[in-house]
């Protein structure tokens, strides 16, 4: 029997919360997938300097450095949005200020990302040979 539309759910159209929910999920998956690779690349340190230095040399590539900026974005977003979730979960009455808290966490995230993007962006542009 075919499922009715209500059984599989419809698009949630409530608040900006749906976007932070999605971004929390995407950044979480991105970080754990990176961690899988990162444990292995770090383990190469047990095979000595030649092997390890060749592996971490990958990070000198500007495309990889761009992904690295994405990683920092993901970790930081997931962390700050996670704090927001904990505030709502442990102090349910804070839900009255949901919009304000959500806005504040977004502003904190953006303010953190500005200097980080400048610092890492400089390295990326250097590696790409722009200057």
Partner 1 sequence: MAVEAPERPTPSPRDRSRGARGRERPGGGFELWSWLYMRISGLVLLVLAVGHVLIMHVLDDGVERVNFGFVAARWQSPFWRTWDWALLVLALIHGINGLRIIVQDYVRWPGVRFAVDMAFFVIGFALFVLGTVVVFTFDPSQWPGTV
Rounded Cα gap, residues 81 and 89, in angstroms: 12
CA dihedral 91, 97, 101, 107 (to 10 degrees): -170
Question: Is residue 62 at the binding interface for partner 1, with CB under 8 A as the rule?
Answer: no
Q: Which residue number, 23 or 28, has a Cβ lying nearer to partner 1?
A: 28
Residue selected from 1, 13, 49, 111 as contacting partner 1 according to rule CB under 8 A? 49
Question: Is residue 63 at the binding interface for partner 1, with CB under 8 A as the rule?
Answer: no
Rounded Cα gap, residues 37 and 48, in angstroms: 18
Q: Which residue number, 19 or 91, has a Cβ lying nearer to partner 1?
A: 91
Q: Which residue number, 53 or 107, has a Cβ lying nearer to partner 1?
A: 53
Give Cβ neighbours of residue 117 (< 8 Å, ≥ 6 apart): 69
- Percent composition of the chain: helix, strand, coil (DSSP 3-state, to 5): 85, 0, 15
Question: Distance of CA 105 to CAs 17, 23, 96, Å?
Answer: 12, 13, 15
Question: Is residue 129 at the binding interface for partner 1, with CB under 8 A as the rule?
Answer: no
Question: What is the closest distance, in whole angstroms, from the C-beta atom of residue 103 to partner 1 in the complex?
Answer: 18
Q: Which residue number, 28 or 103, has a Cβ lying nearer to partner 1?
A: 28
Q: Which residues bind partner 1 (CB under 8 A)?
A: 25, 28-29, 31-32, 35-36, 39-40, 42-43, 45-46, 48-49, 52-53, 56, 59-60, 65, 68, 71-72, 75-76, 79, 82-83, 85-86, 88-93, 95-96, 116, 119-120, 123
């Amino acid at each position: 029997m075919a499922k009715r539309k209500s059984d599989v759910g419809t698009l949630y159209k409530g608040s900006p919360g749906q976007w932070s929910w999605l971004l929390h999920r995407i950044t979480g998956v991105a970080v754990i997938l990176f961690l899988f690779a990162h444990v292995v690349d770090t383990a190469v340190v047990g095979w000595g300097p030649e092997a390890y230095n060749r592996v971490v040399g990958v990070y000198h590539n500007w495309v990889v450095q761009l992904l690295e900026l994405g990683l920092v974005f993901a970790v930081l977003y997931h962390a700050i949005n996670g704090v927001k979730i904990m505030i709502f979960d442990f102090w349910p009455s804070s839900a009255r200020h949901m919009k304000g808290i959500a806005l504040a966490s977004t502003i904190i995230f953006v303010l953190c990302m500005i200097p980080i993007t400048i610092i890492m962006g400089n390295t990326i542009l250097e590696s790409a040979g722009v200057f």
